[in-house]
Structure 1
Amino acid sequence: MPPWGWLLLYFAAHVLGRVLVSPALELDEAEQAVWTQHLQWGYGAQPPLYTWLQWAVFQLLGASVFTLSLLKNGLLALAYVCVWLAGRTLMPAGLAALAAATMLLLPQIGWEASRDLTHSVLLTTVSAATLAVVLALLRSPRPALYLLTGVVAGLGMLSKYSYAGFLGVLLAALLTGRDTRAVLLNRWTLAAVAVAATMVVPHGLWVLQHWGLAVESTAGKLTSAVPVGFFQGLWRGLTSLVLAVLAFAGPWALAMGLLFGRGALQAWSRWWRPQAAPAGSGLHLQALWQRYFVALGLLFLAMMVFGEVTRFKDRWMMPFLFLLPVAFFGCAPELAQHARLPRLRRVLATVAVLVLVLLTARVPYNAMRDKPDELNQPVRELAQALRARGYAGDGIILSNDRTLAGALRLQFPRAHIEVDDGDGNLPTQRPLLWVEPLTDALPTRPHDLVLPYLFSATGDVPARYRYALLP
């Protein structure tokens, strides 16, 4: 089977497994189920592109667990394709496909992106598309590629705000190289900027009107809750950054080192001591990675020194370090003939099967440990019980739990779902159904529903919900 066949089969299996495991939703899935009820220029602390795409898929195929999973896994598959396209400019096509496949060994991409991420998945995909287009532009500068660069940059800014960091680092790496600078210092670059700006301006105006919602909540995730001194904050930031990078890239780097040994060390050393550029090419792409990682380090340092950032998470590395396989194999194209490539293929196949099995089995496994998670909620049974108690499935559904609110949208497609923000104001439209999950030992009332979890053993504590129906 060709590589594309395996890619489609792998992500089709992910979609099937997600549909079969539960009709309930993870938090990010639930947010999309709620947000896609309306098209807006912004949603919460995130740019709108993912929600727009999810809205379009819902319009075509309906709102369901299947369509939620279809979009995310389609974007993940596209990320692998874009990394392969980027790699093809640096190495043989077969090695580029294998390099792209090693992203499975980056835990945040191979595991967490399939478990419960949305905007970060789109961000990684658009960042990979940006890299592929820019490398193609460096090889063959022409107007169409400049305009396409503007399009993907605009899509990136509408995907997640951290894309600006990735784009800035990439531009810095290009501008500081004599062989790449001339490609950017071109009149068509202004056209690319105009295209990107045109795409982003409407959302930018929305951000200005919702500054606290869009920016301040994001900024709060980067700093310590308790003020600390400069040097203590810098130490915390450096420690957090090192741990985040190790968590993101450590398993991948370990696998490359164990498999390729001295070949891996030579590839990594060329990031800092690039070989001479091939004669007549005009481009020194190994040196590009050196400049990229230096610029990335300076960005993180500036965030700690000037932005007082003290916390980094491994998933925040996705748009910056997804290109590790491209840089690694691009600096060592001789690995295409390495005797251990078949072993790498077996490792990747084993990891792919393990990820599929573990993702599918984690819900019943958590139930066996008496730790039911979000996907173990009996939302289909809850919907049936609410219908049996008189709810016709229209009007307003109000819940203080985001995951439950999103799941109920899929169960009651004619209803409008709202999340209770705790201000005490109820919608005026009727009928109004208010539902909340109960997690404490409150005494049972007539308007309580007690249902077994989707996966549970005899004697396990059941799920409990409280509701009120205003006709």
Structure 2
Amino acid sequence: MAGPPPALARARILPATAMPPWGWLLLYFAAHVLGRVLVSPALELDEAEQAVWTQHLQWGYGAQPPLYTWLQWVVFQVLGVSVFTLSLLKNALLASAYVCVWLACRMLMPASLAAVAAASMLLMPQIGWEASRDLTHSVLLTTVSAATLAVVMALLHRPRPALYLLTGFVAGLGMLTKYSYVGFLAVLLLALLAGRDTRAVLLSRWTLLAVAVAALMVVPHGLWVLQHWNQAIESTAGKLTGKVPVGFVHGLWLGLSSLVLAVLAFAGPWALTLGLVFGRDALRAWSRWWRPAAPPAGAGVDMQALWRRYFLALGLLFLAMTVFGEVTRFKDRWMMPFLFLLPVAFFGCAPELAGHARLPRLRRVIATVAVLVLVLLTARVPYNALRDKPDELNQPVRELAQALRARGYAGKGTIVSNDRTLAGALRVQFPRAHVEVDDGDGILPAERPLLWVEPLTDALPALPQDLVLPYHFSASGDAPARYRYALLP
């Protein structure tokens, strides 16, 4: 292959009016970290799981590959176990996802438009909101998928051995991130293999070396999966189907309707915003995805054809999951590794939007959404308490830790709780203790001292050793949080 894609050649003619706003990106996610630290010392479920899992380095954790937990372990070792370090890693990964999407966009359009395209991911609720609220593995999955796309785009532009090795390394990271990465990689490879202008990149001896690099990285975890099949696969597969068996036709209807709703929930707000901002120009850009165009001159890559093949392969994957895999439900956040590249495809097919009169309007919309997300994420904790519907972040875990210390617990030994969120929060409050989640077998650890803690519901009668503490930001008349503990010295 020789020569860049036509869109890239055109983009070089257009002046880059501004550098990417790295400062705004860092400031935005630093504000997220600060807001998370200030709003509550308690943990969301995914945060709590990381707090517990990072006590040991393993080749796998439950239904998830190990990479996120490994990264969190490293951050904990360097900066300590805290809400700050939990939030720091996730927001650093989110920022990296935007950077990788910008790198992919930059090969197809001017820098100023690439920055807007990458920032428009904020308009996808699962990335702009849900990823900041309470996701871990899906955040890393999106980041690694974006890195994969950026490396592949660079490979299409100028194939060289170092990029093949980097592709294998990134693919290995992806398969250690979340199992759905395999689906994204398969769709991307199929789209590349199906095109004459992109097939030659894969049909190279360096591709075998890239595969070897990825395989070497994944083999240890693969062996762990074989030894823990029920944990790793069956629990994941159970999320894709309903608890009640249904017939084929009914199941097909459930699966396809769930898929459509998931795609609309993920991409609908983003697409609607672009349509309102650019009007007919947005429709013309969208139509280029499916409208056959003249083949590029020389040996360039037809990016519009590549996107068509990608989305066609993705549709076939989802259809196969529904028909042959009997998948009856799709969640909108599962679209993150597959549809995050919508801005790359859309703006890559319309680089002329860099000079569009309404582009500043889109910048203002994105900035407004960014501020709203930051404010609402911070305000939701006091808001939930004010309406007397406290959630995990309203739990008074710092006060609980102080009360347990006052009653004789020195912060060492073993802590056991039947609540995963509480267990993780106690790991942060007592970093010198070993924390376990009770699996219901009735067998307590032999190590001493042993502290047992569990949250209580209002239905259970009160005992003298119960701890009654007000929720964070709750009013004086609201029902308090209740905990029961037992301390074995």
Give yes or no for TM over 0.5: yes
For 1:295, the equivalent position in structure 2 comes to 313
1:109 is the counterpart of 2:127? yes
5+ long unaligned stretches in structure 1: none
For 1:80, the equivalent position in structure 2 comes to 98
Contact 2:20 2:115 in 1 (8 A): no
1:286 is the counterpart of 2:277? no
User: Which of 156, 161, 171 lines up with 1:138 in the alignment?
Assistant: 156
> Aligned partners of 1:24 and 1:297: how far apart in 2?
40
1:309-347 deviation per Cα after TM superposition (whole angstroms, max 9, x unaligned):
000000000000000000000011111111000100110
1:171 is the counterpart of 2:178? no
For 2:350, the equivalent position in structure 1 comes to 332
> Aligned partners of 1:457 and 1:283: how far apart in 2?
62
Please tell me the residue identity of whatever aligns with 2:474.
Answer: S
1:222 is the counterpart of 2:234? no
3-state DSSP of counterpart to 1:458: coil
Deviation of 1:400 (Å)? 0.3
1:84-138 deviation per Cα after TM superposition (whole angstroms, max 9, x unaligned):
0001111111111110000000000000000000000000000000000001001
User: Which of 115, 119, 131 lines up with 2:137 in the alignment?
Assistant: 119
Deviation of 1:277 (Å)? 3.8
3-state DSSP of counterpart to 2:56: coil
1:452 is the counterpart of 2:470? yes
1:30-52 deviation per Cα after TM superposition (whole angstroms, max 9, x unaligned):
00000000000000000000000
1:10 is the counterpart of 2:5? no
Deviation of 1:458 (Å)? 1.4
User: Which of 200, 208, 222 lines up with 1:204 in the alignment?
Assistant: 222
For 1:237, the equivalent position in structure 2 comes to 255
Matches within 5 A, 1:373-384: 373-384=391-402
Deviation of 1:273 (Å)? 1.2
Give the stretch that moved more between structures: 441-450 or 23-32.
441-450
For 1:405, the equivalent position in structure 2 comes to 423
Q: What's the % identity of the aligned pairs?
A: 87
Deviation of 1:2 (Å)? 5.3
3-state DSSP of counterpart to 1:272: coil
> Aligned partners of 1:424 and 1:382: how far apart in 2?
24
> Aligned partners of 2:363 and 2:100: how far apart in 1?
20
1:440 is the counterpart of 2:429? no
> Aligned partners of 1:138 and 1:2: how far apart in 2?
23
For 1:181, the equivalent position in structure 2 comes to 199
Deviation of 1:440 (Å)? 2.7
1:262-320 deviation per Cα after TM superposition (whole angstroms, max 9, x unaligned):
11111111111143244235211111000000000000000011100000000000000
Please tell me the residue identity of whatever aligns with 2:360.
Answer: P
3-state DSSP of counterpart to 1:392: coil
5+ long unaligned stretches in structure 2: 1-18
1:396 is the counterpart of 2:401? no
For 1:304, the equivalent position in structure 2 comes to 322
Deviation of 1:244 (Å)? 0.2
> Aligned partners of 1:20 and 1:277: how far apart in 2?
55
Give the stretch that moved more between structures: 40-49 or 440-449.
440-449
1:234-258 deviation per Cα after TM superposition (whole angstroms, max 9, x unaligned):
0100000000000000000000100
> Aligned partners of 1:159 and 1:118: how far apart in 2?
10
1:204-239 deviation per Cα after TM superposition (whole angstroms, max 9, x unaligned):
000000000000000000012111111110010000
Please tell me the residue identity of whatever aligns with 2:463.
Answer: R
Contact 2:20 2:112 in 1 (8 A): no
